[in-house]
Structure 1
Amino acid sequence: MIGIKYHSADVDGVKVFYRQAGAADAPVLLLLHGFPSSGHMFRDLIPLLAEQFHLVAPDLPGFGQSGMPVRATFDHIADVIDRFTEVIGIRCFALYVFDYGAPTGFRIAVKHPDRITAIISQNGNAYADGLSDAWTPIRAYWQDPSPANRAALRALLEPEATRWQYSHGVSDAAAISPDGWSLDNFYLGRPGADEVQLDLLGDYKSNVALYPSFQNYFRAHQPKLLAVWGKNDPFFLPAGAEAFKRDIPAAVVRLLDTGHFALETHAPEIATAIRAFLGG
C-alpha cells in the first residue's frame, strides 16, 4: 500500500494544507471536499486508488488545516485552488468534486477546460433540479441577508447538524465512524470559523447563478463524467445527478443507497467505479 504524505503550500500568502499519495507520474486526481469537512473525508478512498493514480486532496481555504480567510467567497476559494494546482505543479488532472468542491472545481474547469481530463461528481451539484427543499432557509438569506436570516443559519453549524449530515439516509448508522463528524465539529468550533461558513452559505447563490455557465462548459467540451450519488442526500437530489446527461449524453450515473457523505459507507464501491471509469 502506498502511504499518504501531508504537506502545506504557500499559495500567494494563503496556506493550503493537502494530502498526497501515489506515483508522481501517474494520472492525477484532484479531490475537492465539501461542507463542513476537509480532505480527511477522503481517508478511505485514497488508499484504494493510490496504486493507479496520483491523488491530491487539499483542504479548501477556511476548512481543515488550511488558512482561514477573514471573509470567504466561492470565487476566492476557486482562485486559490486554481493557483494551488500551479504551485504544486499539476497541470492536467481529473476532478473528484463533492458538495462545495463542485462549484470550486467547475469554476476551474470553465477557466481551464484543457486541463480537465475527467470529472467524478459525488453529490456535487450543477443543476437547479438537484436542490432540495432543505435549501429554503438558505434561500431566504440569499433573498434578504438580514441579521435575523443569517442567525437562523447557525443551526446548520451546530454539532448535531453535522452528525445528522453524516447519518441521514444511511441504512445502518452504526456503520458511520464518529471520526469524520467529530473532526468537522472541531474545525467548525475554531474562532471565526462560524462567520466564514455563514458567508459561504450566503455566497452559495453565486454558484446557482453560475449553473448556466457550468452547463455551457459541459455541452461545449463534453468532459468525461461520472456522477456517483448518495441517493438519500437531504440537500442534493438524485435529479441533479441525472441532469448531467442532458448536457453530456455519455455521462455515467450511478445512484447509491446512502446519504450525503457517500464515502463513509461506499468507499470501495466508489473506488471500483472510478477505476473502471478512468481505466485505472
Structure 2
Amino acid sequence: MAPAVHHRTVIVNGLEVFYREAGASSSPTLVLLHGFPTSSHMFRHLIPALADRYHVIAPDHIGFGQSAMPSPEDFPYTFEALTEITAGLLQHLGIDRYALYVQDYGAPIGWRLALQDPDRITAIITQNGNAYEEGFVKPFWDGVFAYAAAPGPETEAPMRGALTAEITRWQYVNGVADPSLVSPDNWVHDQALLDRPGNDEIQLRLFRDYPTNVDLYPQVHQYFRDSQVPLLAVWGAGDEIFGPDGATAFSQDLPNAEIHLLESGHFALESHLDTITEHIRTFLTGALA
C-alpha cells in the first residue's frame, strides 16, 4: 500500500504555509523545493514513491500553490525572504538535519539554507536546479537580466509574456522526448494560480530579484568545495532554461558528484519519475549510510 500523503498548513511569520508530508518522522528527512511556476504539486507522485524510506516534506513557497499570497506591499518577494519562510517552516517542524531536492527557484532557496547552516544538509539532489553560469540558456535568460537591470515597459513586456499559458505549457513539454507522457493538468493547474489577481506583480518582483542568486554563486561554490556534500544531479538534458552544462558544472567543485542527463526537459519528473526515483533511492542509500 502506498504511504499516506498529508496536506497541512501552518503559520510562519504570520503567513499560511502549505506543505505536503509523508513518511515516518523518525526516518531521514528529505525536503523538496519546487520551482517556477509550479508548487509542491510537482512532487505529488515522487513523495509517495520515497516515503516508505524517508520523511518527505514539500512546501509551497509564499505566492505559489496553496500558501499565502500577500501583496508585494505586504511581503518582500525576494529569494532571501522565501528562504526565511522555508527556514521558519523547518524550525517549526523541528527538522534540523535533512537532504535537499531542488528544482529551478528551489535551488537558490536551497543554496541559501545551506549557506546559513551547512551542517544541517546531509545531501543534495538537483533536478534542473542551477548553481553555475554555464547553466543559463540564451535567449531565455537575456530578458530576465535585462528586466532586472532596467525595469520599464520595454523590458517588462517579455517578462509578462513568460506568465502566459503558452509559455507555461512550453516549460513542461519543451525538450521532452515523448511529450505525450506529460499531463496537461500540470500547466492548466499552474496557469490558474499564475492568473490570480495580483500574482503577476509577485512574479515580476521575483524576476527582478533573480540576479541576487547569481551574485551568490561564488559563496555556493565555496560551500561545495569546503563541504564536499554528496550531490546527485538528475537533469532534463533538453531543458532550454537550465541546460545540461549546468549539471556537469557541479563536478568543478564536487568531483564525486553523480550526474545523470535524461531525455527530458525542465520538469523531468513528469516523464522520468521512475528513473529519477531509482537514482534518488540508490544515491541516498549511499550518501546517508
Please give the range of the TM-score, normalised by the shorter of the 2 chains.
Answer: over 0.9
- 3-state DSSP of counterpart to 1:138: helix
State the one-letter code of the partner of 1:9. Answer: V
State the one-letter code of the partner of 1:105. Answer: G
- 3-state DSSP of counterpart to 2:162: helix
Q: How many residues align?
A: 280
- 3-state DSSP of counterpart to 1:163: helix
State the one-letter code of the partner of 1:194. Answer: D
State the one-letter code of the partner of 1:57. Answer: A
Among candidates 169, 172, 184, match of residue 166 of structure 1: 172
Shift in Å, 1:137: 1.0
List runs of 5+ in structure 2 lacking aligned partners. none
User: Within the alignment, does 1:250 sit opposite 2:251 as a pair?
Assistant: no
Q: Which moved more, 1:138-147 or 1:199-208?
A: 138-147
Identical residues among aligned pairs (%): 51
Tell me how far apart the structure 2 counterparts of residues 170 and 213 of structure 1 sit (CA, whole Å).
33
1:217 maps to 223
Tell me how far apart the structure 2 counterparts of residues 201 and 234 of structure 1 sit (CA, whole Å).
17
- 3-state DSSP of counterpart to 1:157: coil
1:122 maps to 127
2:242 maps to 236
State the one-letter code of the partner of 1:130. Answer: G
Tell me how far apart the structure 2 counterparts of residues 151 and 7 of structure 1 sit (CA, whole Å).
37
Tell me how far apart the structure 1 counterparts of residues 223 and 6 of structure 2 sit (CA, whole Å).
33
State the one-letter code of the partner of 2:67. Answer: S
Tell me how far apart the structure 2 counterparts of residues 223 and 93 of structure 1 sit (CA, whole Å).
12
Tell me how far apart the structure 2 counterparts of residues 129 and 173 of structure 1 sit (CA, whole Å).
26
Tell me how far apart the structure 1 counterparts of residues 220 and 71 of structure 2 sit (CA, whole Å).
28
Q: Which moved more, 1:6-15 or 1:63-72?
A: 63-72
State the one-letter code of the partner of 2:92. Answer: V
Among candidates 89, 111, 116, match of residue 116 of structure 2: 111
- 3-state DSSP of counterpart to 1:243: helix
Deviations 1:212-270 (A, max 9, x none): 11111111111110011000001101111111111111111110010000000001110
- 3-state DSSP of counterpart to 2:210: helix
Tell me how far apart the structure 1 counterparts of residues 19 and 121 of structure 2 sit (CA, whole Å).
20
Shift in Å, 1:88: 1.3
Shift in Å, 1:21: 0.4
Structural mapping, 1:1-280, within 5 Å = 1-71=2-72, 72-133=77-138, 134-279=140-285
Tell me how far apart the structure 1 counterparts of residues 12 and 231 of structure 2 sit (CA, whole Å).
29
Shift in Å, 1:33: 0.2
Q: Is the CA contact 1:33–1:39 (under 8 Å) kept in the aligned structure 2?
A: yes
RMSD: 1.0
Runs of 4+ in 1 over 3 A off after TM superposition: none
Shift in Å, 1:202: 1.2
Deviations 1:90-111 (A, max 9, x none): 1110000000000001000000
Q: Is the CA contact 1:28–1:56 (under 8 Å) kept in the aligned structure 2?
A: yes
State the one-letter code of the partner of 1:100. Answer: Y
Tell me how far apart the structure 1 counterparts of residues 177 and 230 of structure 2 sit (CA, whole Å).
31
Task: Give TM-score, length-normalised by structure 2.
Answer: 0.95
State the one-letter code of the partner of 1:197. Answer: Q
State the one-letter code of the partner of 2:247. Answer: A
Shift in Å, 1:147: 3.0
Tell me how far apart the structure 2 counterparts of residues 208 and 128 of structure 1 sit (CA, whole Å).
7
Shift in Å, 1:148: 2.5
Tell me how far apart the structure 2 counterparts of residues 163 and 265 of structure 1 sit (CA, whole Å).
14
List runs of 5+ in structure 1 lacking aligned partners. none
State the one-letter code of the partner of 2:113. Answer: I
Q: Is the CA contact 1:9–1:88 (under 8 Å) kept in the aligned structure 2?
A: no
Shift in Å, 1:172: 1.7
- 3-state DSSP of counterpart to 2:255: coil
Q: Is the CA contact 1:231–1:259 (under 8 Å) kept in the aligned structure 2?
A: yes
Q: Is the CA contact 1:171–1:258 (under 8 Å) kept in the aligned structure 2?
A: yes
Shift in Å, 1:151: 2.7
Deviations 1:56-108 (A, max 9, x none): 00001110001113221101001110111001111110000000000001000
State the one-letter code of the partner of 2:59. Answer: P
Tell me how far apart the structure 2 counterparts of residues 14 and 247 of structure 1 sit (CA, whole Å).
37
Task: Give TM-score, length-normalised by structure 1.
Answer: 0.98
